[in-house]
Amino acid sequence: MSFEFSAHALEAIAAPPMVNDPQQRTELERLIAGCQTCFLQPYVFFVTWGGPLTLAYSGFPPALINLKAAIASVCRGLPPENAGSKWPKTTLGAVRDGKRLTPEQLTHLNQICKEESAAFTETDRVRDALRVWVDRAVVSLYLCRSQHRLMVAHEVAMDTTVDPRPVATSEQERVQSIVEEAYHDDYWVSASRDGNRASHYTGNAIGATLMHRLAAFNAGPDALSAPLLPALIAKFRDRVQKELPD
């Protein structure tokens, strides 16, 4: 099965300067600036509905849960949150247009995901090194859903105080239940459904979102973190392309 992978997660995008004067900040900027810095913990590689390959994180940490709730409360008039954004993930690639996963290909992909995800929990030191440091957010007005083409990308720094609280059990269970679906006998119906092919992400689509830029893969003082996560993603990508070329 042919996949188109996005290199965008490993690339930086120029952004307008941050607004440092609290008096000039908008309501959304104030909410972001008041959110504590936190971490996302890589959990597993996962095949989502329609076939996209993603990196799922263990769950939203409390600081981001609170930020999402504050935005929903203060910024009234926003459309309801999509189901796909209620659990943290990075979309890495999508099935090419005109292609559809077969049951055999899904089984093969699930095996690759399981084997390559084992590196995320190899040791406590590696696990800590893989944490994604979330210390800023980008308000994005995009021209395509993959964020390759942006009309505006406005970056806002978060509070430098680090939130030490772990991801809540309910959040972890939410992600686990979603990921476990991929191993159900009938999941192929969802994984092969129409939609979410490559052009869904790269084609013209105007919208606005709040995202975290993964370009630097910052993780505080741990020097291992910068190259390690991109290297594991690249290894996963290369294996998928080698073993499922068509």
Percent of the chain with pLDDT over 70: 85
Is residue 188 a contact partner of residue 108, using CB atoms and an 8 Å limit?
Answer: no
Considering only CA atoms, which of 45, 203, 198, 196 is closest in space to residue 130?
Answer: 45
- Give the pLDDT score at 20: 54
Residue of 117, 109, 93 whose CA lies nearest to 3: 93
Q: Return the pLDDT at 23.
A: 55
Model pLDDT, residue 15: 43
User: If we measure between CA atoms, which residue out of 164, 168, 214 comes closest to residue 60?
Assistant: 168
Predicted confidence at residue 22, as pLDDT, reads: 58
Q: Is residue 5 within 8 Å of residue 140, measured between CB atoms?
A: no
pLDDT at 85: 87
Among candidates 110, 118, 169, 137, which has minimal Cα distance to 34? 137
Query: In 10 A of CB 176, how many CB atoms?
Result: 15
The DSSP result for 106-120, as a single string, is HHHHHHHHHHHHGGG
Residue 57 is predicted with a pLDDT of 96
83 DSSP assignment: G
State the pLDDT at residue 236: 96
Q: Which helix (H) or strand (E) holds 53?
A: strand 53-57
All residue ranges of the chain with pLDDT < 70 are: 1-24, 215-227
Q: How far apart are CA 155 and CA 19, in angstroms?
A: 9
User: What confidence score (pLDDT) does residue 17 get?
Assistant: 47
pLDDT in tens, 65-87: 999 999 999 988 888 888 888 99
Please give the mean pLDDT across all residues of the chain. Answer: 86
Return the pLDDT at 133: 87
pLDDT for 77: 84
User: Which one-letter amino acid corresponds to residue 141?
Assistant: L
**Cα torsion at 135, 203, 90, 228 (round to 10°)?**
-80
